[in-house]
Chain A
Amino acid sequence: MVAVAFDTAGKAAVEAKIRAADIAERPVVLARLMGWSEDLWARQAPPTYPCLIDQGHEVAERYGMRNVPQAVWIDEHGRLVRPVESAGTYDMVPHMDRETFEVPEEAAAHGLEVRNAYIDALRDWVRHGADSRYVLPADEIRQRMSGPRPDDVLAANHVRLGRYLYTQGELARAKQHFNEAVRLCPASWNYRRQSMMLDADRVGELNGGEDFFAAFDANRQYPYYPEADLGLAEA
């Protein structure tokens, strides 16, 4: 397992998530939203796999990842066996109470179903490799992917500039480029979410503010967490 954080603020943004000072302080509602069982929550273990930091959203660009968490499966030969997909998530935001972030029982239950189905599929691949029914044929993978548009590579270039300017302390100029990236590539929730969290007092925080929900409501035509299609591969 390799995790990549698309966080322009780098270590400052992710440190509390990878090396939490006090995991017990995390709100219970987060555990429910993430579908963590009591057993999983009780473990409260830091990650033992590489957690990499991608300040320039490079992996997002190369793989066409539009939101987090998304994932790809790569076999021993370095080949994709599934395209980019929501990694065990589904779109709970429409069901969420915007003050408490609680979701109704039915939504939480469906979230847990989606999460468990994805993890079971992943375990099946780990166990059976190329023989796993979740490994997709090449044609199917390509059909499920979409290639970059000219505005997408231009957006990535603005993120390239924005990241550099941010690291030079040029926050206002950095924001201009992130905002331009959002304008050029409105389907990227990574760019949109990142653009709202560059100010020093927001770095590292989960955005549950009015700006997030306003952006979510205004951009419903761009899928947030489309559920992964785990239908069986053709024989």
Chain B
Amino acid sequence: MSATVLLYDERETTLPGVEASGDALWLSASELEQATGWKLQSEGLCRGDACVGVDPAWRDGEDRIDVTAFARHMDQPITRDDNIWAFGESVSARHDALFSLEAPDFTLPDIDGVMHSLSDYRGKKVFLHSWGSY
């Protein structure tokens, strides 16, 4: 059975039975929510406090939504390798997040696989230091 892998923000979702149709990637509302966190509601596609009106051109006769059309509307970068698709954050979203001077949150594992979020340390000064083995 064919499957598509969607890498959306930090999510990694395998969608069995989903295949690209040219440059379009049609997902049901539940697949879209699972893969991206965007939920189809009466106001449109909503995530957190944000809602985006759905362009009829993004929908097909089977009530599916073309996630690539939605991502292009949101100015997101889209990159594909065969059946693996990556959707990143837009330039403006990244810029606004950084220039707000609110330290962008993240969640990563330590060497034992225990997850840590930057927000776990709110209330303390944090010296956030990067390194690499290379």
Residue positions of A touching B, CB distance < 8 A:
1-7, 9, 11, 13-19, 50-54, 58-65, 68-80, 87, 122, 125-126, 129, 138, 141-142, 145, 147-150, 152-154, 156-158, 160-161, 164-165, 173, 177, 190, 193-194, 196-197, 203-207
Chosen A-B contacts, 27 in total, with CB atoms closer than 8 Å, are: A2-B128, A2-B129, A4-B129, A5-B131, A11-B111, A14-B133, A15-B111, A50-B110, A52-B110, A62-B104, A68-B131, A71-B129, A74-B127, A79-B102, A80-B103, A147-B94, A147-B98, A148-B95, A150-B77, A154-B77, A157-B78, A157-B79, A157-B88, A161-B84, A173-B81, A197-B134, A203-B133
Q: Are B88 and A51 in contact (CB under 8 A)?
A: no
With most chain A CB atoms within 10 A of its CB, the pick from B95, B98, B102 is B98
Mostly helix, strand, loop or mixed at chain B's interface? mixed
Number of residues from B at the complex interface, CB < 8 A:
46
User: Which residues of chain A come closer than 8 Å to B99, judged between CB atoms?
Assistant: 142, 145, 147
Cβ A74 vs Cβ B110 within 8 A: no
Measured in the bound complex, the distance between the Cα atoms of B107 and A182 in whole Å is 25
Whether A74 lies near B111 (C-beta < 8 A) is no
Cβ–Cβ < 8 Å partners of B1 in chain A: none
Q: Does B86 contact A (CB under 8 A)?
A: yes
Q: Is B116 an interface residue (CB 8 A)?
A: yes
Question: Which of B77, B98, B129 has the largest count of A CB atoms less than 10 A from its CB?
Answer: B129
B24 contacts the other chain (Cβ, under 8 Å)? no
